[in-house]
Structures are given as C-alpha cells and as structure tokens.
Homo-oligomer: A and B are copies of this chain.
C-alpha cells in the first residue's frame, strides 16, 4: 500500500470525508447515522468510512448489528508534523534571503559612501 501520509492526505481530499471527520469530532456515530444527511446510498458512505479507516483516521467498534465509528485524532499529528516541518524550512529560507538582501544593501551603501 501507499505510505500513511499519502493515504491520510488522499482521505481528506474528499469533502464528504472531511465532513464525516468534522461530525465525528462531536460524537461517535453509526454508519447509518453518518449516512443519513447525504444524498447518496449508505454503501457509498460505508466505502468512504473504509477509506478513513485505512488511513487510520477512524476505527469501528461493534455493538449489536451496528458499528459505532470513532475518530482517531492522533493521526492529525502526522500531517501537522509534515506541514510544519516544511513551513519552518521555507520560513528559514526567507530569513536567509532577508540576510542576503540586507548584506547586499549594506555593500550598496558602502559603494555609495565610497563614491
């Protein structure tokens, strides 16, 4: 299978799945309950939940015939870690750029002073 970061990003690339995640932050819910609001079959929602489950974003319990779905929010950390790592790296680069520009400016000033 693909790496987890890829499956997590891919899982959240779909608006229906993001909405499912959003609703699961409020409370656990069964597949049927989760499917109700959408204009699609319960099978389609079941598939979406499987994608979220494969990404590790969600787990399913078992109570009677029903499968209560539970959000596993720790996986968010994986994405946050990736995003923040490269954001920080990009910011550091811009800071270095600022230094370079400042130095350029200084030597410009020196040239000005020398002329």
Contacts of A12 in B (CB 8 A): 9
- Chain B residue contacts of A3, Cβ below 8 A: 15
Query: How many residues of chain A get a CB closer than 8 Å to chain B's CBs?
Result: 32
16-40 of chain A: CB within 8 A of chain B: 18, 21-22, 24-27
With A26-B93, A87-B76 as given contacts, are A13 and B10 in contact (CB-CB < 8 Å)?
A: yes
Q: Is the CB of A91 within 8 A of B79?
A: no
Chain B residues with CB below 8 A from A87, complex form:
73, 76, 80
Given A7-B13, A25-B86, A71-B90, 7 additional A-B pairs, CB 8 A: A2-B15, A9-B9, A10-B13, A26-B93, A76-B83, A76-B87, A80-B80
